[in-house]
């Protein structure tokens, strides 16, 4: 669903463009009260995520790092950096629940809508419905641009005030203010407390060698419940997917959805095509194509996304991941109650004949528990 907030700063248009556009946009907002999922095929990851509004510029939550399921667990021992011969390897324990936080609102995804005042005047003389029709295609196109920009950043967002994308999370040594690995191994570095269990799980599948290597043993000093290398005698995409599924299960990882590049989805489709079932019904042969039109792997849906990094599949638990948008609407704004806060306001006019409007979202991706964030990269 879409939340639109309209801000109107125009006072100079002789036919009261602000009122007409405001009324038209209100009517248009009411028409846009629809579920975004299924509406934007160019942003499949975006549409698949749970969306939720936030009202402060910092997202905070607590995470249990002990790794157990017992509510009685008191503490977890963090891993100290000083693990070198002759260096004191002290101990440090603290409450197993730590505070995680992310900033939101420092970067916007936006598009500009330009309306020719001559067109607006003609439409205004016909009433608000005509103005609404004039704006509808441009607003819809603007929404498409914004959602595609967000969808791209869900993978590549760099942080530093911007949306933090999945690849940035996997490439960093900390996330949401909690360190899970160390980059410097020199003994002169001060002791640093870090938590390997907070690190997302990443595997590199080598098809030619028919094995999967997991990332850095969960970080420096971390331990896995299984060997870091998984070996399979088949050595193809499907066997590597099943192998990674196995490694996730024995390491207490979870997922209910896969987001993958088309190169991987096609391999899943090909596996199903090799096992198609043909039935004779009323003298005709019908093809059972379940798993081809809607790809699934181990009972989980597979979302194909061309913006996903090549040869990469993310095994995600959508209960642990949300796309937030900062709601900065005020009582004077026109809102449609929804899950995504889209702000729209008029800017200073570009020319005497042009009315300019900005449409924007203030997004952030939050991974509340990294046990639901897993990545498999496949190389031939």
134 found inside a domain: yes
Residue 71 is assigned to a structural domain of this protein: no
Phi/psi for 61 (5° steps) reads -160, 165
Task: Answer whether residue 115 is part of any domain.
Answer: yes
Whole-number Å distance between alpha carbons of 33 and 340: 11
DSSP line for 229-248: EEE-SS-SHHHHHHHHHHHH
Angle at 150 between CA 379 and CA 301, to 5 degrees: 55
Tell me the C-alpha distance between 256 and 299, whole Å.
8
Q: How many Å apart are CA 7 and CA 328, to the nearest integer?
A: 11
Alpha-carbon span 196 to 49, nearest angstrom: 26
Count how many domains the chain has: 1
* 73 in any annotated domain: no
Task: For the chain, state the CA radius of gyration.
Answer: 25
- The pTM is what? 0.78
Residue 17 lies in a domain: yes
Question: What SS3 state is found at 254?
Answer: coil
- pLDDT tens track, the chain, 380 positions: 444 444 444 433 333 455 556 566 555 555 554 444 444 567 899 989 999 999 999 999 998 775 444 444 444 445 444 443 343 444 444 446 788 999 999 889 998 888 887 887 888 788 777 777 777 777 778 888 899 999 999 999 998 768 999 999 998 888 999 887 766 544 445 556 677 778 899 998 988 888 888 875 443 334 444 456 778 878 888 889 999 998 888 888 999 999 999 999 998 888 776 655 544 455 544 444 444 456 889 889 999 999 999 999 999 999 999 999 999 876 545 444 467 888 877 788 777 788 788 888 999 999 999 999 999 999 86
Q: Is residue 170 part of a domain?
A: yes
Is residue 306 exposed (0-12), middle (13-18) or buried (19+ Cβ within 10 Å)? exposed
Query: Is the residue at 72 inside a domain?
Result: no
From start to end of 32-92, where are the E strands?
50-54, 58-64, 75-77
Q: At what angle do helices 237-250 and 262-273 cross, to 10 degrees?
A: 100
Per the structure, the complete domain to which residue 44 belongs is given by 2-66+78-379
Q: Between vectors from CA 65 to CA 62 and to CA 69, what angle results, nearest 5°? A: 95
Does 33 map to a domain? Answer: yes
């Amino acid at each position: 669903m879409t939340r639109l907030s309209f801000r109107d700063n125009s006072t100079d248009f002789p036919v009261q463009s602000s009122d007409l556009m405001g009324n038209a946009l209100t009517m248009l907002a009411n028409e846009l009260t629809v579920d975004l999922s299924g509406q934007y095929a160019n942003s499949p990851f975006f549409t698949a995520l749970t969306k939720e509004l936030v009202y402060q510029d910092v997202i905070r939550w607590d995470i249990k790092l002990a790794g157990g399921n017992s509510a009685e667990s008191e503490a977890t021992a963090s891993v100290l950096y000083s693990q070198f011969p002759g260096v004191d390897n002290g101990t440090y324990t603290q409450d197993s629940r730590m505070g995680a936080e992310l900033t939101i609102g420092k970067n916007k995804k936006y598009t500009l809508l330009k309306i020719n005042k001559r067109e607006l005047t003609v439409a205004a003389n016909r009433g608000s419905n005509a103005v609404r029709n004039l704006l509808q295609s441009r607003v819809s196109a603007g929404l498409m641009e914004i959602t595609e920009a967000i969808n791209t950043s869900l993978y590549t967002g760099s942080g530093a005030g911007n949306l933090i994308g999945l690849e940035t999370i996997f490439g960093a040594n900390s996330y949401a203010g909690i360190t899970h690995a160390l980059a410097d191994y020199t003994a002169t570095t001060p002791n640093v407390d870090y938590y390997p269990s907070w690190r997302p799980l990443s595997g590199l599948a080598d098809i030619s060698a028919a094995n999967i290597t997991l990332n850095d043993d969960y970080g420096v000093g971390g331990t896995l419940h299984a060997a870091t290398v998984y070996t399979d005698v088949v050595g193809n995409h499907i066997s590597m997917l099943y192998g990674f599924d196995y490694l996730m299960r024995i390491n207490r990882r979870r997922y209910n959805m896969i987001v993958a590049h088309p190169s991987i989805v096609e391999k899943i489709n090909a596996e199903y095509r090799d096992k198609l079932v043909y039935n004779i019904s009323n003298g005709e042969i019908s093809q059972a194509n379940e798993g081809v039109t809607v790809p699934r792997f181990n009972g989980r849906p597979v979302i194909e996304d061309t913006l996903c990094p090549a040869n990469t599949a993310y095994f995600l638990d959508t209960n642990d991941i949300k796309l937030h948008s900062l709601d900065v609407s005020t009582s004077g704004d026109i809102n449609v109650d929804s899950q995504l806060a889209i702000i729209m306001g008029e800017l200073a006019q570009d020319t005497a004949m042009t009315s300019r409007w900005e449409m924007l979202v203030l997004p952030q991706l939050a991974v509340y528990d990294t046990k639901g964030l897993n990545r498999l990269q496949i190389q031939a």
